[in-house]
A and B are shown apart, each in its own frame.
Chain A
Amino acid sequence: MPFFFLRGCNLTNSHPDLECRDLTKNFDAFRAVDQVSFDVPQGSFFSILGPSGCGKTTLLRMIAGFQSPTSGDLRIKGKSMIGVPPNKRPVSMVFQHLALFPTMNIGDNVGFGLRQRGVGKAEIRARVEQVLDRVGLPHVAERRVDQLSGGQKQRVAIARCMVLEPDVLLLDEPLGALDLKLREHMKIELKSLQHAFNTTFVYITHDQSEALVMSDNIAVMNKGRFEQIGSPHEIYHHPDTAFVAGFVGDANKIDAKVTEVNGAMLTLATEMGSEMKVEAAGAGLSVGQPAQVFLRPEAIALGASDAAAESAANISHGTVETVFFNGANSTVTVKDGAGHLVKVAMPQTGDFATLRKGDAISTRWLPKQARCYAVSGDV
């Protein structure tokens, strides 16, 4: 008997909070979401990152129930949500512009969902006060919506959802309307709120830094499809496709042709004649094929070689074209002998702080630090 009990428990726990299987949505002839499949385990922060128009909002609205998928299945805690209206789903959504009800005070806003469930007045008041306390806004229940600042409204919107204890909280770029400083602050805060509530968050954004900072897992979406799902580290350092490499983080994109294949080591040449070596196992490239090389600015070192690993490195000599000073994120553009412009991150130690336009400089990078993809014509 206890054995069965245990098994039963395990079974219910084994379901991820949110599962999508081959989810597709067509608008007439246009396919907004194309066979998307993913799982979001309980208590994790999952981001869907993509440029505007990639279908991420449609995907989120399907999870919330405002749009029904053309085909595919969507399960929350193992239960299919196809045909379930939004007011019957165990998900809540934080809208892009928050959608706090301006005709109600904060307490009534947060208590709205509980009122719909027929919870008693005294209990509503207690639970509203409790959840407002948890988001760090005690004693605001009597205030009007327009008396709060942007960040406070943000937290009220989250409290309004969390008071219902949803299985999944959906967030539709809620930080988009905030100014930069507050946005940076809210990123940290959202992450810690998610941790405190231990609720599954599904967050959509076009801002890669939001996704990278907050997420446990990121799905990069393009043209209705998921290009890659992985941890922020994987997405940044091991992008699967050229789109991911170009979209997430900064990168120098170099068009080249493969001239030599030696195991995992490729030798490529650009049209203007400069050669480079790139380590790309599994890129499936053969001699003569056009390819794109993505090289992060911070992977490139400036200055004369320091003996170690010299033979392997790609070294070129050039002149400084422009210096972009941006505090810790300063970069410099270097024009190499063949005329290519390469963006290089300034080392943060303060070396090379005196670089000026026209200075001669050499750059070097290791073959394993670049990513190489066959040209798909997509990006």
Chain B
Amino acid sequence: MGSDRSRLGFYLLLAPILLWLIVLIILPHVGLFLVSISEKIGPREYETGFDNYAAFFSEPLYWRTFARTAIMSIMATALTLILGFPIAYYIAKLTRGRTKTTLFLMCMIPFWVSELVRTFGWMILLRETGVISNTLQYLGLVNGPIELLYNDAAIMVGLVYTSILFMVVPLVTTLDSLDDSLIEAGYDLGGTSTSIMREIVIPHAMPGIVSGCIVVFMLSLGNYLTPILLGGKDSLWFTGMIYTQFITRFNWELGSAFGFLLLGLSSLVVFLGLKFSGQSLSETMGRS
């Protein structure tokens, strides 16, 4: 009786997540997959096959954009880590109480504004008639207006800015759990700041680093607004390409195939990242 009731409770509690998984993730993907393996041979005539995937590999623009997106996302992740780690270390280890909360909040505040507005903020700063260009001209460092928008560096800035919070939060959490006496013990045993960072702090923070990197990489890879707005026409991003297939070209079949390739790519990169860092996904997600 009691066990029946607890079993019912278990399924009731499980229901929302199952619904979420099935309705929002599994069903659309099954649908997309079916679309991606159908080839259009005439009006309203379809055949099953992998022509859409073949099209991707035969057209250099497609797979080059694909590779470019992957490489730039990895670079954005690395940059975010390099910038985020000192911030997280400062918040977690070098501040106490009120200052800590304030700093943490200050990292959070930009995210109260929509991503679109934040990206426009960057456009105001970087465009030809923007703040930075005008300041440089006013100071006499440059002669004419300079365009800082619409290049890869602008995309990189935007990507790092958008995702740095998702790196700082898991890092602060893991670094917070590092006992100060471990760092002191390191110094006491003759360690230098560098060796303590390398042998004690970073190994301890590894789960946070990995989970932060996974999140940031996924966000960058799947980002649409930032590369389109800051990168302009010349800077292609794979999500933009998927959008074009679905909305502009109305080629859902190819778009779906692209979608699946992107899923495969992100899984592959995360898998390789975990392999190289010697972490397991369950450990990373469980600990941080």
Chain A: residues with CB nearer than 8 A to chain B? 64-66, 85-88, 91-93, 95-97, 99, 101-104, 112-113, 115-117, 160-161, 164
Chain B neighbourhood of A96, CB < 8 A = 181
The reply to whether B195 and A116 contact each other, CB–CB distance below 8 Å, is: yes
B203 at the interface (CB under 8 A from A): yes
Interface residues on B, range: 10 to 19
Complex interface: stretch among B94-102, B184-192, B253-261, B266-274:
B184-192
Residue of B nearest to A90 (CB): B190
B67 at the interface (CB under 8 A from A): no
A-B contact count (CB 8 A): 65
Docked CA distance A103–B204 (Å): 6
- Rounded to whole Å, the gap between the CB of A149 and the closest CB of chain B is 20
Within 8 A of A (CB), among B72-91: none
Partner of B184, one of A91, A99, A103, A104: A99
The reply to whether A95 and B187 contact each other, CB–CB distance below 8 Å, is: no
Chain A neighbourhood of B186, CB < 8 A = 101, 112
7 contacts between A and B (CB under 8 A): A86-B187, A87-B191, A92-B188, A99-B181, A116-B189, A164-B189, A164-B190
- Rounded to whole Å, the gap between the CB of B204 and the closest CB of chain A is 6
Partner of A113, one of B184, B189, B200, B204: B189
Docked CA distance A287–B188 (Å): 55
Docked CA distance A160–B191 (Å): 13
Other A-B contacts than A115-B199, A116-B191, 19 sampled, CB-CB below 8 A, are A66-B184, A85-B187, A87-B189, A88-B190, A91-B188, A93-B188, A99-B185, A101-B185, A101-B186, A103-B200, A104-B199, A112-B189, A112-B199, A113-B189, A115-B195, A116-B189, A160-B189, A164-B189, A164-B190
Within 8 A of A (CB), among B188-221: 188-192, 195, 199-200, 203-204, 206
Docked CA distance A116–B195 (Å): 8
Docked CA distance A87–B184 (Å): 9
Docked CA distance A95–B191 (Å): 16
Residue of B nearest to A161 (CB): B189
Docked CA distance A66–B188 (Å): 9
Residue of A nearest to B200 (CB): A101
Docked CA distance A95–B186 (Å): 11
Docked CA distance A10–B24 (Å): 83
Chain B neighbourhood of A113, CB < 8 A = 189-191
Chain A neighbourhood of B234, CB < 8 A = none
- Rounded to whole Å, the gap between the CB of B163 and the closest CB of chain A is 27
Docked CA distance A87–B185 (Å): 9
Docked CA distance A164–B190 (Å): 9
Partner of B189, one of A65, A92, A97, A103: A92
- Rounded to whole Å, the gap between the CB of B280 and the closest CB of chain A is 15
The reply to whether B188 and A117 contact each other, CB–CB distance below 8 Å, is: no
Q: Contacts A117-B190, A164-B189 given: A86-B184 contact, CB under 8 Å? A: yes
